[in-house]
Amino acid sequence: MSTVRRPIHVRIAVRLPARIPLRAGARNLPRYYSTASPAPPNSLSPRIPISAVFTVLTIFGVAATSYGLYEFYSMFTLWPKDGGLRDDLRAGIKAQHSQNYNLAERFLRRAYDTALTLPPDAFGPSPWLKISGIACKLGQVLEQAEELQKAYDVYQQCFESLQVANNLTIPERRRAIALATHLAHLTEVLQKPEAEEESYRAWGVDQFVKIYKDVTGGGDDALLKLDAPVPLTNTTGAQSDSESKAEEDLGLPKWLTQSEAEEFENALEGLGTFYARRGNVQYALSLYLRAISLILPPASPQLRAAASPERRCHAAQIMSSISSLVLSSPPSSPTSTSPDASPSDTAAPLPLAQAQSWASKSLEISTKALTDLEADVKKREGWFGFLSRRKKEEKAAQEGEVDELGECAKVWAVGMFNLGIILEMQNDFKAAQSHFASALAKSKEIGLAEGVAEAEDALARVRMRIMRGVVLPPPSNGKGKDNGKGKGNNGGRNNGNGTGEKECRETEVVAIGAAEAK
């Protein structure tokens, strides 16, 4: 019997290293996970259901809509409900925001007609402030619709109603002054008789003087003196909270929401510009100087330093107007003045030097004001300021107004151009060329078409004179040399038709300055 050998099974234990060593120079390779496989345990990938996103957006939209409706229907609660006045105001404002001016006119005109039929007691204190506010809102809508004559008729009717009303408060009297100033502006735009414009402008200044006399007990001309204090800061009677809220509901135009000092400045400047067009240099200069003294009081450095950039730009604009006016006045005029002259100065400078002094001061002030205004705007609007800036510019254009930054930039461009004209008259063509180039660049930046055209023409002219070596004759104190049919004017060279070279340059200064003053 043979024996069967069974296989012997031997278990051999093999120790494997816990980690296989990498060869020299090898780098640890990153681990990649398939998109089909589940994410590793340590990975953070929160999953938000789509339904939750839509729920949040829906809640947010409902909340925003509810808040907007609440804000809208909480307006005009201070206005009477009689005759559907409150509802018509809401509908008119809503239509205006939608730029449906025909519908806005219909609702606001019906609201105004209703307001005229209600007793004054229905509007609370200062009833004519609210009634005239409706008229001014209607006029604003008509101006936006380019119906200037219809807007003029509405403003005129409201102005006449204020004149015959009894026991007007000081804010109501100021409203009448603002209406008179704006009516004068529309009178000029619509090319109505000059006597009508003068009556509105003179009435506005006269009423300010009367208010100041009634409040302070001063003389008839106390407010027009250059050393008089800034008027009526706390003496004209501030509006109550309800009156301010009612005007806020309407969203009145900018020319109705100014301070008393700004209203007086505009009234003085407007009347001064009218007299400048009529050639009454003495009256115009007096009114211009008083307007500047309200913004930059000569005896108060603190108030000058506290003036806002917008008001300083306004002062620079008036100084530019004075520069243009001085060029057309005789050198022996008793109104000759200088921005840096002291009361003891007795010698009157030549008109050209005097005009250069005012133009240089205007450019100096507008440069500093524009820099400060740009810094304020950037600080106020933050990183995304360009978005709010564009929205503000669109709103200003829609309401027929100019925002503060754009207005100040225009004043700077006009001042730079005007000073270039004066330098050209002094045969300093290189400096004039530099000023014209700066004015051209700023005009292009802000979209000032007239400034671009004027600056390009001036640049071409001075470059041609530099190439040809042409030198203008010096001013001869109003005694020009006649080379043709007529007599040279303003000490300039006559071109054969009685118009001197200097007069042509003066005309350019006055033309662009007057155009921007409008």
Sequential DSSP letters for 179-240: HHHHHHHHHHHTT--HHHHHHHHHHHHHHHHHHHHHHH---TTGGGSTTSPPTTTTTS-PPP
**What pLDDT is attached to residue 219?**
61
**What pLDDT is attached to residue 367?**
94
Rounded Cα distance between 456 and 416, Å, is 13
Q: Classify residue 129 as left (phi > 0), alpha (psi -120 to 50) or beta.
A: alpha
Considering the domain boundaries, does residue 511 fall inside one?
yes
Q: Are 425 and 505 in contact (CB under 8 A)?
A: yes
User: How many structural domains is the chain composed of?
Assistant: 1
* Three-state SS at 494: strand
Q: Are 434 and 418 in contact (CB under 8 A)?
A: no
Considering the domain boundaries, does residue 197 fall inside one?
no
Rounded Cα distance between 276 and 517, Å, is 12
Return the number of other C-beta atoms located less than 10 Å from residue 17's C-beta.
6
* Residue 517: domain span: 308-339+349-396+403-518
Segments of the chain with pLDDT less than 50:
1, 10, 20, 22, 25-26, 29, 32-34, 37, 43, 67-73, 233-237, 334-335, 342-348, 386-387, 476-518
**What pLDDT is attached to residue 184?**
96
Rounded Cα distance between 183 and 173, Å, is 15
Question: Measured between alpha carbons, how far is residue 29 from residues 26, 32, 33, 183 in Å?
Answer: 9, 9, 13, 82
Q: Which helix (H) or strand (E) holds 257?
A: none
Return the number of other C-beta atoms located less than 10 Å from residue 444's C-beta.
15
- Report which DSSP code applies to 403: -
**Unique residue bearing structure tokens 């400034």:** 451
**What pLDDT is attached to residue 89?**
92
Return the number of other C-beta atoms located less than 10 Å from residue 200's C-beta.
25
**What pLDDT is attached to residue 337?**
62
Considering the domain boundaries, does residue 489 fall inside one?
yes
Angle, helices 429-446 vs 404-425, to 10°: value is 160
**Unique residue bearing structure tokens 């003196």:** 225
- What's the pTM value of the predicted model, to 2 decimals? 0.70
Rounded Cα distance between 405 and 366, Å, is 11
**What pLDDT is attached to residue 341?**
55
Using alpha carbons only, what angle is made at residue 467 by residues 466 and 471, rounded to the nearest 5 degrees?
Answer: 45
Considering the domain boundaries, does residue 410 fall inside one?
yes
- Report which DSSP code applies to 348: P
Return the number of other C-beta atoms located less than 10 Å from residue 61's C-beta.
10
Considering the domain boundaries, does residue 291 fall inside one?
no
Considering the domain boundaries, does residue 388 fall inside one?
yes
Q: Which amino acid is at 337?
A: T
* Alpha-carbon radius of gyration of the chain: 35
Question: Measured between alpha carbons, how far is residue 277 from residues 179, 271, 412, 415, 419 in Å?
Answer: 22, 10, 23, 19, 21
Dihedral angle, C-alpha 293, 295, 301, 305, nearest 10 °: -160
| Paired residues of 481 in beta bridges | 493
Rounded Cα distance between 236 and 488, Å, is 51
Q: Which amino acid is at 35?
A: T
**Phi–psi pair at 232, nearest 5 degrees:** 60, 30
- Let me know if 518 is exposed, middle or buried by CB neighbors in 10 A (0-12, 13-18, 19+): exposed
Helices vs. strands in the chain: H and E counts, helices first: 18, 0
Q: Which amino acid is at 84?
A: G
**What pLDDT is attached to residue 51?**
66
Considering the domain boundaries, does residue 424 fall inside one?
yes
Q: Are 315 and 323 in contact (CB under 8 A)?
A: no
